[in-house]
Amino acid sequence: MISVTEYKPQEEVLEFLEKCQSVYIIGCGSCTTITHTGGKAEVLKMKESLAETGKEITGWMVIPTACDELAKDALKEAGDEIQSADCLLIMTCAFGVQNIAMFTGKPVFPALNTIFIGKEQTTPGLFSEVCRQCGDCVLAWTGGICPVVSCSKGLLNGPCGGTDEGKCEVDSDKDCAWTMIYNRLKDQGRLDLFDKEQPPKHYQSGTRPGKITIQ
Amino acid sequence: MVIPFKEILNSGKFIVTSEIAPPKGTNLDNTIHHIDLLKDKVDALNATDNQSSVMRYPSLGLCLLIKEHGGEPILQMTCRDRNRMALESDLLFAYSRGIENVLCLTGDSMVVGDHKGAKQVFDLESVQLLRAIRLMESGEDLGGNELDGVVEFCAGAIVTPEAHPVEPQLLKFKKKVAAGAEFFQTQAVYDLDNFRKFMEYAIPLNTKVLAGIVLLTSARMARFMTANLPGIFVPDNLIDEIAGAEKGMALQTGIEIAGRMIKTIQEESICDGVHIMAIGREDRVPDILAAAGL
């Protein structure tokens, strides 16, 4: 699993940084390195482009894994360069941004949007969203394909009328989840599961935000 | 005197419904004109609900307007814009104001419309909305709470007979019947041979089916729908017929095609009736009915 990110528009980033003369840039050696949105090469490119707009770059680093506890030690090592900056521009996913904000106490600005938690598929480089942590798993009834996340409407009782030739109406590059579910259940001789009427989901509003202490 | 749609459904007569799109704004003049034009010519009028995910005057408001003007409304309700609480509370309001027919739809995706950044809801979908109505009729809401005064609706749904592949759609169709749908208005049908095959599946389910008739206004429109709209296929012979019409006569040819299809459906008793969608040309629905001999 990786946290999939994409660049925010440069104008938006420059708007964040409007009141900051000096900036420290932080990337991540894990997910954003894989997605080429916050690895060393991208951090250096960002450094260059911000310098061109007249910003002073006090330093940069690529934390091995920005979302874990060890990030704190990495940030401590760069203490002076970080402390002397007006703000930090973060090229990690939103997990890392929040971690760095907590550990440094400095103003942090994300350079990226975090768009989904992706599972690597059999095609190299292809990542898909397969679970949205809804807390009310339906995979038992759907042949192990999640309609909550794989159907663009999250439908539980079959396809909408917008599907065509097994593709989704919102994006013809995406498969219709319910056509896939139908095909898999049919192959397994379990189409009776399709007939089962699924009640409205329990959206677990009471458990959000999620928090758990594991003993 | 308006005859309740439920009574019409069970009367054995050939049923004709049509639909009216609410305005994008508060100017109701054209909408009222269409209601007055159609209310006595069809058995019921659907009030569309932010159709194609385009924000408009609400379907509930249009249903009240149809009633005020002496028509029989069918309230279209999609699950895109409201969660279960909002849908249930709108159903209470609708029933209290004498709106007795509901068409339960999942709704188009937000991204096909004019509010692409809006959050789409889909807390329920069509099958679950049908079930919610039946639950509320028994005196309970979806939270398991007792209602002080219940609802009673004639509830319907939609089906796409020409979807590819059609099998998953047929299973969902069956689920909608099981969840309480009393009638179906279909997506546009043009190929009556295909539609007859669909009806072989539908007849044993013992529900009422109104074939969707979408007015073709030009060959270009017919080609566009076939290329871009899921589940709509206009056969080449119909496209050729419109394309071959004399200059300025394309719309008239479309009206004749619609009338001819309705006539065939009625004469051969292929299904229980038709639902006419004259998207943007509601003023021509009476001409379609005349062409059908109705």
Number of Cβ within a 10 Å radius of residue B266: 17
For A6, the 3-state DSSP assignment is: strand
For B15, the 3-state DSSP assignment is: strand
Higher pLDDT, B257 or A206: B257
Cβ–Cβ below 8 Å for A169 and B163: no
CB contact set of A21 (below 8 Å; sequence gap of 6+): A55, A56, A86
User: What pLDDT is attached to residue B278?
Assistant: 95
B164 min Cα distance to partner chain A (Å): 5
* ∠ Cα B114 B119 B123 (to 5°): 120
Using a CB-CB cut-off of 8 Å, the residues of chain B touching A194 are: 168, 171
pLDDT of A206 > 90? The answer is no
pLDDT of A109 > 90? The answer is yes
Cβ–Cβ below 8 Å for B230 and A155: no
Longest dimension (CA), chain A: 65
Specify the DSSP element, H or E, that contains A12. Answer: helix A10-16
pLDDT of A204 > 90? The answer is no
CA distance B105 to B257: 28
Cβ–Cβ below 8 Å for B112 and A169: yes
A21 min Cα distance to partner chain B (Å): 33
Cβ–Cβ below 8 Å for A157 and B172: yes
Higher pLDDT, A121 or B93: B93
Using a CB-CB cut-off of 8 Å, the residues of chain B touching A165 are: 164-165
Q: Which of A113, A151, A152, A157 to mutate to test the interface with B (most CBs of B within 10 A)?
A: A157
Question: Is-contact B242 B214, C-beta < 8 A?
Answer: no
Check residue A164 and report its DSSP letter.
Answer: B
Using a CB-CB cut-off of 8 Å, the residues of chain A touching B86 are: none
Cβ–Cβ below 8 Å for B168 and A158: yes
**B229 confidence band (pLDDT: 50, 70, 90):** confident
Enumerate domains of chain A plus CATH numbers.
Answer: 2-116 (3.40.50.1860), 130-199 (no CATH)
pLDDT of B235 > 80? The answer is yes
Q: What are the tens digits of pLDDT across the range A25-38?
A: 999 999 999 999 99
Structure tokens at B111: 């991204």
CA distance B121 to B110: 9
Using a CB-CB cut-off of 8 Å, the residues of chain B touching A179 are: 165, 168
- 0.85 surpassed by complex ipTM: yes
CA distance A61 to A39: 9
pLDDT of B1 > 80? The answer is no
CA distance B34 to B245: 27
For A63, the 3-state DSSP assignment is: strand
Q: What are the tens digits of pLDDT across the range B86-121?
A: 999 999 999 999 999 999 999 999 999 999 999 999
A40 min Cα distance to partner chain B (Å): 33
pLDDT of A22 > 90? The answer is yes
**In this complex, which of B122, B159, B179 lies closest to A154 when CB atoms are compared?**
B122
Q: How far is CA B196 from CA B190, B204, B216, in A?
A: 11, 13, 21
**A205 confidence band (pLDDT: 50, 70, 90):** confident
Using a CB-CB cut-off of 8 Å, the residues of chain A touching B112 are: 169-170
Q: How far is CA B52 from CA A82, A151, B55, B86, in A?
A: 51, 18, 9, 20
CA distance A139 to A148: 10
Phi, psi (rounded to 5 degrees) for B287: -70, -35
User: What pLDDT is attached to residue A186?
Assistant: 97
User: What pLDDT is attached to residue B232?
Assistant: 92
Using a CB-CB cut-off of 8 Å, the residues of chain B touching A164 are: 163-164, 230-231
**Axis-axis angle for helices B84-96, B59-68 (nearest 10):** 10
Q: Which of B125, B126, B167, B232 to mutate to test the interface with A (most CBs of A within 10 A)?
A: B125
Question: Is-contact B75 B48, C-beta < 8 A?
Answer: no
A183 min Cα distance to partner chain B (Å): 9
The predicted model gives A100-125 an average pLDDT of 95
**A64 confidence band (pLDDT: 50, 70, 90):** very high
Average pLDDT in chain A: 95
Cβ–Cβ below 8 Å for A156 and B123: no
What sign has the CA pseudo-torsion B29, B45, B171, B129? positive
User: What pLDDT is attached to residue A79?
Assistant: 86
Comparing alpha-carbon positions, the chain A residue that sits nearest to B126 is A157
Using a CB-CB cut-off of 8 Å, the residues of chain B touching A201 are: 123
Q: What are the tens digits of pLDDT across the range B254-280?
A: 999 999 999 999 999 999 999 999 988
Comparing alpha-carbon positions, the chain A residue that sits nearest to B159 is A161
Comparing alpha-carbon positions, the chain B residue that sits nearest to A179 is B168
Cβ–Cβ below 8 Å for A155 and B165: no
CB contact set of B7 (below 8 Å; sequence gap of 6+): none
B interface toward A at CB cutoff 8 Å?
A: 80, 84, 106-109, 111-112, 120, 122-128, 131-132, 142, 158-160, 163-165, 167-169, 171-172, 174-175, 178-179, 187, 230-231
Cβ–Cβ below 8 Å for B164 and A182: no
pTM of the predicted model as reported, rounded to 2 decimal places: 0.94
Task: State the burial class of residue B228 (Cβ atoms within 10 Å of its Cβ: 0-12, 13-18, 19+).
Answer: exposed
Enumerate domains of chain B plus CATH numbers.
Answer: 14-159 (3.20.20.220)
